[in-house]
Chain A
Amino acid sequence: MLSKMSVVAFPIVLIVMAAVWAPPAASQDAGGAVTFYKDVLPVLQKNCQSCHRPGQIGPFSMLTFKDTRPWAKAMKAAVLSRAMPPWFADPRFGHFNNDRSLTQTEIDTIAAWVNNGAPEGNPTDAPPAIEWPAGGWQIKPDVTFDLPPYPVPARGIVEWERIAFPAPFKEDTWVTSVEIMPGVPAVVHHMCFGFQKHKPTTPYGEYQWMEVPRGEDGTMTKPDGTTTGPPDGVVLTRIAGTTEVTRRVGRPTVYHEGTNEFCYLPGLPFEDYRAVNAGMLVPAGSDMIVSLHYTATGLATIDKSRIGFTVTRTPPAKKFLPQDGPEGDNAPVARQQANATLAIPPYATNHPGPPAEISFLKDVELVWFRPHAHVRGKTVRYTLVYPDGKEETLLYVPHYNFNWQLTYRTSVKIPKGARMRVQFTYDNSTGNKYNPDPGKWVYYGGQSWEEMGTPNMGFLVDREADENSFLTER
């Protein structure tokens, strides 16, 4: 089933570039100096430039010596403290092949360069410049799709909305990487989408969302453990490009039966599975169901987000199966993580949320984790329980950072009969500087002032495998 096909996420690291430029040692030339061109630039190309270049999230560019040199001291401080590059996995657990934290040698190189006066060196020592994609893209898309301009209000609550479009492919197409480029990142909480077979009842170009009963402070009056409100109730709709909102009682007709296969989240700009010869097949005539969540921040603006794809005519060897989504919209079975029981007390410093447990019905290869929580998220631990009862922590994030919702890419063979237990904790105290109100109870929900603990994972399966019933969750 197409809707259950999935992808793997590879965050910002450029795999190809990493292969080309191995990390240099803190070498010294004949004059004894660590130089920018010879020693530092290769480190920056491999680990930093994807974000630190014009148009990206980094506050300054590291493309050239001229761009980089003024920030030398700040760079040294950031790498010594390991604040940069952002990477949050506890090194005691798991192995991640996209670990972008610097090696000690790379840190020493940058520190030595700064300590020695940050010399430029000889330009002929420089590695070839990376040819970054134009137009602000991280990938170099073969196909692009422009979402309709979305007017984000200055104030109010914008519920999660869905909208359908015909997929931008005229024939059966293997997609190998996807990037969602938000137009105004300041107002985008998330954008996700998946593909599914077109249904006659699915209208194109119509935003649909559920009316969620809320109090004046935005709190759901009846927390029900969902992000989008009840499955039926008052449905609101708006045709793209218009302002008129209509209401009806019933169920939404724009709904993705599978999981969200691609997402933009802060710190997660694109998903790429070319390096492992994998992809997902989008049959001709498929629909693209896009889930949008904007947050009003006081800035009335028009968001013009774009989606880019790379594709291949050669079917890759593998395809991906995700375990994704906040609640009961996952393939292959409804998810039963007890989200409705999430209730974080005021001033709690380390409150455990309802654990998720995933049972594996077949042997499967786990290839990524992408834990998701909001501003009170504190830690997350993925523990694999083998059939013989042995337990192994595969990922522990001791300081979850909602601004960097990283994908942790791995390769773990999971045997049939194993279970994955995923535990989030939350900090609702004054010690959490992003906590908007430590005095409030916090419940499950999709808004940033609410919380969730979504244990996203990705699995690799053979291209022809039937992905149904690889796992269940309860």
Chain B
Amino acid sequence: MTRISVVSGVLLLVAAAAHAEQRQVSVTAGDGFALQGSYYSAEKGGPGILLLHQCDADRRIYDQLATMLNVAGYNVLTIDWRGFGGSRGGAFTDFRAQRQKILELMPGDVDAALKFLSAQSTVINRALGVVGGSCGVNQAVQASRRHPEIRTLVLLSGGTDAQGEAHIKSSATLPIFGAASEEDTDAAASIRKLVGLSAHADSRVEMFKDAGHAATMFAKQQDLEADIVIWFRANLPVAGYGLPPAIR
């Protein structure tokens, strides 16, 4: 399978890029801070997916996945957390030094990103999904606590707190796809626990070996991005009766 992965990564980016277009966007957080992001609009309209990156990378780590999801019919938003990538500036220039403050602001930043995503003209804002990597895992889980319109989660190499675990345990309609690498011991244990807690029968976990952490796993497990797209297509329909009606 290794040979497949090496070749497929290159081909995938080329093939997907031929169909998708991204635009740079600025998401205004509650305190006025401008989070920088990339938005991929689905031509025919469809659900929205928010990608939350890990805290040792920036949003570019999702470039390929975002493109693939967009080609598959989804509106996709990636944002840089404060202190990362395009969102490094103003009062937030050093994540390590400002870690606690930035983490405290993340829930509000996620809400701002979801608000931005939901407001886009092609987004079905009652049908959302979130991908979280590492530090983004807890944010993804907490976001689903606050926003019932989030209908599925993809969690890569991370964990959540007691409230998040209770939420997953009680959410029978929230399917979760988890993935981690075995040698990433704590993250792997957290993902196993989260998926194990899930009350949804379709939730599943993928464990790899020597694959790295969160979205860096894509480099060695390049089938993982395809698996994530297939997961969303199975659990967040882009058309048909599976989309929830908006009566009110």
A interface residues with partner B (beta carbon < 8 Å): 54, 57, 59-61, 64-67, 69-74, 78, 114, 117-118, 154-157, 183-189, 216-218, 266-267, 295-301, 374-375, 402-403, 430-431, 433-434, 436, 447-449
Contacts and interface: CB of A to CB of B under 8 A. Distances in A.
Given A67-B15, A298-B124, A73 B223 contact: yes
Given A59-B230, A59-B233, A70-B222, A156 B239 contact: no
Contact of B8 (A61, A69, A295, A402): A69
B162 interface: no
Contact of A66 (B15, B172, B246): B15
Nearest to B245: A295
Nearest to B223: A73
A433 B175 contact: yes
B173 A66 contact: no
Contacts of B241: 189, 266, 295, 374-375, 402-403, 434, 448
A252 B3 CA distance: 64
A297 B246 contact: yes
A155 B244 contact: no
Contacts of B244: 297, 436
Interface in B26-74: 44-46, 68, 71-73
Given A70-B9, A297-B124, A299-B124, A186 B239 contact: yes
Interface in B1-34: 1, 3-4, 7-9, 11-12, 14-16, 19
A296 B245 contact: yes
B207 interface: no
A109 to B, nearest CB: 16
B11 A70 contact: yes
Contact of B45 (A184, A218, A296, A449): A184
A73 B125 contact: no
A358 to B, nearest CB: 26
A295 B245 CA distance: 6
Interface of B: 1, 3-4, 7-9, 11-12, 14-16, 19, 44-46, 68, 71-73, 121-127, 172-173, 175, 200-202, 222-223, 226-227, 229-230, 233, 235, 237-248
Given A185-B239, A218-B247, A267-B240, A66 B14 contact: yes
B1 A73 contact: yes
A68 to B, nearest CB: 9
Given A69-B11, A74-B223, A186-B45, A403 B237 contact: yes
Contacts of A218: 245, 247
B4 A118 contact: yes
A216 B15 contact: no
Contacts of A72: 4, 8, 223
A117 B246 contact: no
A185 B44 contact: yes
Contact of A117 (B3, B45, B172, B223): B3
A405 to B, nearest CB: 9
A117 B4 CA distance: 5
B44 A183 contact: yes
B71 A60 contact: yes
9 closest residue pairs by CB, A with B: A70-B12, A59-B72, A266-B240, A185-B239, A70-B8, A73-B223, A117-B3, A298-B246, A298-B126
B240 A296 contact: no
Contacts of B239: 57, 185-186, 188, 266
Contacts of B73: 59
Contacts of B19: 54
Looking at chain A's contact residues, the main secondary structure is loop
A301 to B, nearest CB: 6
A320 to B, nearest CB: 26
A186 B4 contact: no
Contacts of B8: 69-72, 118
A433 B176 CA distance: 13
Nearest to A188: B239
B202 A297 contact: no
A61 B19 CA distance: 10
Nearest to B240: A266
A157 B125 CA distance: 17
A156 B246 CA distance: 6
Contact of B242 (A156, A298, A375): A375
**By CB atoms of chain B within 10 A, which of A59, A114, A156, A433 has the most?**
A59
A298 B240 contact: no
A69 B124 contact: no
Nearest to B247: A218
Contact of A71 (B14, B44, B122, B226): B226
Contacts of A448: 241, 245
9 contacts: A60-B68, A61-B15, A70-B12, A70-B226, A186-B46, A218-B247, A297-B245, A403-B241, A433-B175
A454 to B, nearest CB: 14
B245 A449 contact: yes
A73 B245 contact: no
A59 B73 CA distance: 7
A449 B121 CA distance: 25
A343 B238 CA distance: 29
B119 to A, nearest CB: 11
Nearest to A154: B246
Contacts of B243: 186, 295, 297
Given A185-B240, A297-B126, A448-B241, A433 B223 contact: no
B245 A402 contact: no
Given A297-B246, A298-B127, A403-B241, 10 more contacts: A66-B14, A69-B12, A70-B9, A72-B8, A74-B223, A186-B45, A298-B126, A433-B173, A436-B244, A448-B245
A114 B122 contact: no
Nearest to A54: B19
Given A60-B72, A74-B226, A448-B241, A186 B124 contact: yes
Nearest to A216: B248
